[in-house]
Amino acid sequence: MNLFKAKKILTSSITHIILIAVAVTCIFPVFWMLSSSLKTQEEIFTKMALFPETWQWGNYVEAFVKAEFGIYFLNSVFYTVVGVSCIVFITSLAAYGFARLEFWGKNFFFYLLISTLLIPIPGIFVPLYLLLKKLTLLDTRTGLLLCYISGGLAFGLFVLRSFFEELPKEIEEAALIDGCSRFGIYWRIALPLAKPAIATLVILNCLTIWNEFLMALVVLQDKAKMPIQRGLMVFQGTFITDYPLLMAGLTIATIPILIVYLLMQKHIVKGIAAGALKG
C-alpha cells in the first residue's frame, strides 16, 4: 500500500514539474516582450536584466503614434468582428444542415469541404490573387474579408457538425410538433445549446484573423486598409530594428485578443470536449 502511495506521489510530482516547465516556457516570452517594451534600445543590447532599470512608458505612446496604430487597429477590429460573425453564422447553418437534414451526396460534400483543410495556405496565394483580380476585388476590404471567411469555413463546419449530431433529437421533435420551423429550431434551440462550441470557434478564428498578415499583404496594396500587423513593420528596418517600440507594438496588438480570450475562456474546455473532439 505504501509502495502504491509512493508511486502515486512520484507520478503526480513528475506531472506537475513537467506542467510547470511547459507553463514557464510559454509565459517567459510574453514576460520578455513586456519587459523589453519598457526598456531603451541600449539597455536591450547591453544588459540582459529581466526588469528594466527605468520604466519607459512613453514607448507605448511613441509606438502607437509612429506606427499609426489607430487606423490599423480599427481595420483589424473590423476584419475580425465581421469575419468571425460571418464564419459562425455560415458554418452553424451548414453544420446544422449536414447534421440533421437528409439529402443526396451529404457525406460526399461534407468530406469534400473538410478536405480543403489539407491545402497549405501559401499554395493558394497565386490562384486566389488571379481570382480576386478577375472579380475586381483586389485591394478591397471585401476581397480580404472573403478570403478570411472562406479560410475558416471548413474547420468551423467540422467542429459544429460534430456538436449538432450529439444534440437530442427528442427536443427537435417536440419543437416540430409545436409548430416550430426548421430554421426556428436552428435559431432558438440548436444555436443556444451550441454556445461552448461556438465560443471555441470564435476564439480560434479571432486569433487567426487578428494575427494574419501574409494574406493581407497579397490582397491589399493600400496601407490605409491594412491590419494591425502591418503597423509592426514600421519598426523593422533594413539594417536596424527598434526593439523597444516593436515590443510595445506587439503588446498593443496582443491586448485585444487576450481580453477576448479571458472573457470566453470558461467555454473553451467545454467547447473542445463537447464539440471538437466528438464524432
Q: pLDDT (tens digit, 9 = 90+) per residue, 207-244?
A: 899 988 888 888 888 888 889 887 787 777 655 778 88
C-beta atoms surrounding 194 within 10 Å: 25
Q: Is residue 222 helix, strand or coil?
A: coil
* pLDDT confidence band for 148 (50 / 70 / 90): very high
SS3 content of the chain, % helix, strand, coil (to 5): 80, 0, 20
Quick check: is 40 in a domain? no
When pLDDT is averaged across residues 113-131 and rounded to a whole number, the result is: 85
Quick check: is 12 in a domain? no
Question: By residue range, what is the domain housing residue 96?
Answer: 62-276
Quick check: is 27 in a domain? no
In the predicted structure, residue 268 carries a pLDDT above the cut 70: no
Quick check: is 25 in a domain? no
Cell, residue 56? 519607459
Q: Which amino acid is at 133?
A: K
Most confident residue range from 6-15, 64-73, 128-137: 128-137
Domain count, the chain: 1
For residues 89 and 210, give the distance between their C-alpha atoms in angstroms, rounded to a whole number. 19
What pLDDT is recorded for position 85? Answer: 94
Q: By mean pLDDT, which of 82-96, 223-237, 256-270 is the weakest?
A: 256-270
CATH number at residue 263: 1.10.3720.10
Q: Which amino acid is at 215?
A: M
Quick check: is 91 in a domain? yes
State the DSSP code for 241. Answer: B
- Letter string b/e over residues 51-60, b meaning 16 or more CB atoms within 10 A of that residue's CB: ebeeebeebb
What pLDDT is recorded for position 83? Answer: 94
Quick check: is 4 in a domain? no
Of 270 and 65, the one with more pLDDT: 65
Query: CB-based contacts of 2: which residues, under 8 Å, 6+ apart?
Result: none
Q: What confidence tens digit (pLDDT) does each residue in 53-76 have?
A: 888 888 888 888 877 788 888 999
CA angle at residue 178 from 99 to 96, to 5 degrees?
Answer: 15
